[in-house]
Amino acid sequence: MKQLPVVFKRELASYFATPLAYVFILIFLVLSGVFTFYMGGFYEGGQADLKAFFSFHPWLYLFLVPALAMRLWAEERKSGSIELLMTLPITRFDAVTGKFLAAWVFAGIALLLTFPMIITVNYLGEPDNGAIITAYLGSWLLAGSYLAIGSCMSALAKNQVIAFILAVSACFLFIVSGFPMVLDAFTGWAPQWLLDAVASLSFLTRFDAISKGVIDLRDLLYFITLMAAWLAATAIVVDLKKAD
Amino acid sequence: MKKLMYSGAGLLLIAVAFLAFNVLSGLTLGNARLDLTEQKLYTISEGTKQILGEIEEPIDLYFFYSDKSARELAVLRNYATRVQELLEAYERAAKGKIKLHVIDPEPFSEDEDKAASFGLQAVPANQSGEQIYFGLAGTNGQDDKQIIPFFPLDQEEFLEYQVSQLVQSLAKPELPVVGLMSGLQINGGFDMASRQPTAPWMFMEQARQLFKITSLKIGIDQIPDSVSVLLLVHPKQMPEATLYAIDQFVLRGGKLLVFVDPFSEADTGMPMLPGDGADKASDLEPLFKAWGLRLMPGKVLGDGSYAMAVGMGQSQRPVRHAGWLGLPPRALNQDDVSTAGLESINVATSGILEPLEGAKTQFLPLLQSSEYAMPFEAARFGMLGNPEELLRDLQPTGERYAIAARISGPAQSAYPNGIEGQKDGLKAADNINVIAVADTDLLSDRMWVQVQDFFGQRMPQPFADNAGFAINALDNLSGSDALISVRSRGRFSRPFEVVEALQREAEAQFRVKEEDLQKRLGETEQKLAALQQNQDPSKPMELTPEQQATVQQFLAEKVRIRKELREVRFQLNSKIEELGGVLKFVNIALVPLLLTLGVLALWLWRRRKVA
């Protein structure tokens, strides 16, 4: 636990040492703006809220966050630095959590840089800023969940591209689990509680509720436990694969 | 143990624990939520709590929801969860006075029969013909029942109002008493021309099914205490004592739905002088003033956008009448329970309501004109030959005028010193509830319904929602203050005010230019017509070369003016598009640009430092 801040600082600093991080932020900002204005029709909609902005986040993150997460462990494994990391006096918990937190804070910084949207919507009308703040929190939790999944996938694969593809696929499953096409596969044989459980795994329904402006304890716990579970899985995978 | 954790089994354990935790938390942790919306849209309001606190006899609520049939409909499931949680919150807040039963009416079960017997509506879930029930029924100790046949998915903002209204009508089951005071023969009367008795207006027949109607004579000096809503239609030359009675009624918490009119077409009273339009006018001036509003005196609303086509008799084409308006959904306030969801309301020579400056009361428009509207002199309508001349004279002011409005908030008495013989009445009230409508004709049958005589039974076939609006308003007003306050919580529409202002400004500019150009176009056309009229019709068209040249010149001028007009119209939205462009740039490119510059600067700085 003591070494966690050390890992966190080292990792966060490493983001800003490479141009890759800036490219990530640039792509995120440009895409979120383009989606909001062109696909979401924010300006034409004439409503002072950020629905058009947030509704694309689950899909935007689906490709961007795994890209951010893919290097977390795969790189260390490929370059062999993981062995060095394992010999250092840090626990696996410190390493996994520190790396994750650094990436999460980095994603948070990217999210905060969309602040012109808040200014814009406040300039144009009188939005419900309470709901906007909650939606930002929801979006950040969503990014964290994608990151936790991506972190585990990165630990699984030596190759960053494979880690990326695995993470996108896993995250996609979590998005669509509330969709009829998935639920259809369960109807007919599965009991209702299982169907509800599968539907309740969906990022979309959870994120929807939060972005309306209501923080439900269940939604909050869902995101937190999801992150914790995937990070625990990361630690196990790192341990299992350290010999590879 | 540690070894077991760090293995494939450990992964499985984590997955199972995660799933189990979330299934359990979904089942056990109900309603632990933090509502951060500005108006606490997802929390039970004070109004509802008050209604629940006043329940005397226990109420049973039956929530019918076809859980199994709706298993694939995620949107419906989400909303059903929300409804159920809200109902559970009601049950908790009512402290034992409400008992909630959640029922999944399976096909061909007793529960399904029960749902059907309550009158709930089932909708088909899929092609296989499965039905979904998603409604609420409530009963009280006296076996009164109230239902919400199906929760409409697009009316989430009124969910609490709907449920609270149902609960209240069960808690206080007697029909609300509506006092009717009317200057028109709304309840049926006698037609002098045909010497036949006339039937009551269809609106009254519908209202009678939902309310206990008591007729009150104009001239009474006290509104009975039993009356909860006063329906006042076409108040004209009312004695001061009656005005005072209404004033006191409203101040002591009575609700008022009032229809006034600058020119009531339904008023068949003979004018004193021919063309004396003012005789068909009604007003409640002294009271309106005390409540912070006024009916624009002697003015009728003309609207170019919403003008209805009216028949001009046989073998004549119908023409558009700028004083007869068909109001579309955009003209109806979609955030108010009395007008939301209605499709169209027709009004005839309606007036204009406006808030007075400095009024303490809230003025919430319910029906509004379009931007292409202006006030006309009411006197014009008394001898209006061809309605088309209205459209021709219409010079839109760009303002949206209110035809109906809800007035609430603190108000003073119009007679602070009382009146002769009644000195010590109420002087003020913290909150009054008034809905004022500036048209009486919208209640008359010809504006909204065709009545067919079917073997002696009068069958209404409505073509507009006029009665829906009036009944909704009565229904809303007949609830308690607490219930009315539930309505006013939500603010779901948050328009871009800046853009709207730009739009208004651009339209005003456009109109100035348009008028100018239209005038020139008119002049040119007139000259052209004059040139052609000088021709002798018996002779074939022969123009001197000079005349021909003039005609050509005029035609060219006409084309040019038309083009200019088109261009002006095209420029109308340029400012709005410009602003949109700037905002797009700021949100898409500005921060990335600044960031890039920053990174470049940092890079250069570092390089220089190294060098």
Query: Which among B19, B33, B588 has the least Cβ separation from residue A215?
Result: B33
Residue B5 confidence (pLDDT): 62
Residue B270 confidence (pLDDT): 55
State whether B422 and B287 are in the same domain. yes
Task: Note whether residue B290 is domain-resident.
Answer: yes
Query: Which among A187, A205, A239 has the least Cβ separation from residue B71?
Result: A187
Cβ–Cβ gap A128/B38 under 8 Å: yes
Q: Which domain holds residue B105?
A: 46-171
Residues of B in contact with A138 (CB under 8 A): none
| Chain A: closest CA distance from residue B610 (Å) | 16
- pLDDT band of residue B327 (cuts 50, 70, 90) is very high
pTM of the model: 0.63
H-assigned helices in B257-393: 285-291, 388-393
ipTM given for this complex: 0.86
State whether B54 and B181 are in the same domain. no
Rounded CA separation B443/A3 (Å): 78
Residue B175 confidence (pLDDT): 83
State whether B455 and B590 are in the same domain. no
Cβ–Cβ gap A36/B596 under 8 Å: no
CA B57 to chain centre: 35
Residue B161 confidence (pLDDT): 85
Residue B535 confidence (pLDDT): 60
State whether B165 and B230 are in the same domain. no
Task: Note whether residue B79 is domain-resident.
Answer: yes
Q: Are B147 and B118 in contact (CB under 8 A)?
A: yes
State whether B365 and B255 are in the same domain. yes
State whether B361 and B233 are in the same domain. yes
| Chain B: closest CA distance from residue A5 (Å) | 24
Helix (H, G, I), strand (E, B) or coil at B514: helix
Extract the tokens encoding B280. 């068909």
Rounded CA separation B283/A15 (Å): 73
Taking the CA atoms of chain B, what radius of gyration do you get in angstroms?
32
Reply yes or no on whether the pLDDT at B153 is more than 50: yes
Residues of B in contact with A187 (CB under 8 A): 71-72
Of A79-83, A134-138, B239-243, B574-578, minimum mean pLDDT range? A79-83
> pLDDT per residue over A139-163, tens digit each?
999 999 999 999 999 998 888 899 9
State whether B475 and B553 are in the same domain. no
Buried/exposed A178-195: b ≥16 CB within 10 Å, e otherwise: beeebbeebeeeeeeeeb
Residue A192 confidence (pLDDT): 72
CB-facing half-sphere around the CA of A79: CA atoms within 13 A: 10
With a pLDDT cut of 70, the percent of chain B lying above it is: 93
Cβ–Cβ gap B18/A225 under 8 Å: yes
Which CATH number is B129's domain given?
A: 3.40.30.10
- How many CB atoms within 10 Å of residue A37? 23
Report the relative pairing of strands B457-462 and B449-454 from DSSP bridges.
antiparallel
State whether B165 and B199 are in the same domain. no
State whether B287 and B166 are in the same domain. no
| Mean pLDDT of the residues in chain B | 85
State whether B190 and B166 are in the same domain. no
Look at chain B and report how many structural domains it folds into. 3
Query: Which among A113, A129, A225 has the least Cβ separation from residue B21?
Result: A225
- How many CB atoms within 10 Å of residue B608? 8
Task: Note whether residue B322 is domain-resident.
Answer: no
Residues of A in contact with B23 (CB under 8 A): 193, 196-197, 200
> pLDDT per residue over A74-85, tens digit each?
877 777 777 777
Task: Note whether residue B253 is domain-resident.
Answer: yes
Query: Which among B22, B33, B595 has the least Cβ separation from residue A200?
Result: B22
| Domain residue ranges of chain A, discontinuous segments joined by + | 3-241
Residue with the larger pLDDT of the pair A226 and B530: A226
Reply yes or no on whether the pLDDT at B271 is more than 70: no
- pLDDT band of residue B277 (cuts 50, 70, 90) is very low
Residues of B in contact with A240 (CB under 8 A): 6-8
Task: Note whether residue B314 is domain-resident.
Answer: no
Query: Which among A29, A46, A129 has the least Cβ separation from residue B496?
Result: A46
Cβ–Cβ gap A125/B494 under 8 Å: yes
> pLDDT per residue over A2-41, tens digit each?
788 888 898 888 888 878 888 889 999 999 999 999 998 8
Question: Residues A170-193: what's their mean pLDDT?
Answer: 80
Task: Note whether residue B597 is domain-resident.
Answer: yes
Locus of tokens 């088309």? B388
Residue B532 confidence (pLDDT): 67
User: Which of B11, B492, B588 is most worth mutating to test chain A (most A CB atoms within 10 A of its CB)?
Assistant: B588
State whether B72 and B205 are in the same domain. no
With a pLDDT cut of 90, the percent of chain B lying above it is: 34
> pLDDT per residue over B399-427, tens digit each?
999 999 999 999 999 999 888 888 888 99
Highest-confidence segment of B292-301, B391-400, B472-481: B292-301
Among B130, B148, B171, the domain-final residue is: B171
> pLDDT per residue over A191-244, tens digit each?
777 777 777 788 888 888 788 888 888 889 999 999 999 999 999 988 887 666
Question: Residues B379-392: what's their mean pLDDT?
Answer: 83
Reply yes or no on whether the pLDDT at A86 is more than 60: yes
Q: Are A76 and A83 in contact (CB under 8 A)?
A: no
Reply yes or no on whether the pLDDT at B84 is more than 50: yes
- Using the Cα atoms of residue B279, residue B283, residue B289 and residue B294 in order, give the sign of their dihedral: negative
Residues of B in contact with A197 (CB under 8 A): 19, 22-23, 26
Highest-confidence segment of A42-51, B298-307, B554-563: B298-307
- pLDDT band of residue B538 (cuts 50, 70, 90) is low
- Closest to A68 in 3D by CA, of A33, A111, A35, A114: A111
Task: Note whether residue B87 is domain-resident.
Answer: yes
Rounded CA separation B135/B103 (Å): 10
State whether B553 and B462 are in the same domain. no
| Chain A: closest CA distance from residue B21 (Å) | 8
> pLDDT per residue over A63-76, tens digit each?
999 998 888 888 77
| Chain B residue at shortest CA distance from A212 | B37
Task: Note whether residue B29 is domain-resident.
Answer: no
Residues of A in contact with B587 (CB under 8 A): 33, 36-37, 114, 116-117, 120
Reply yes or no on whether the pLDDT at B396 is more than 90: no
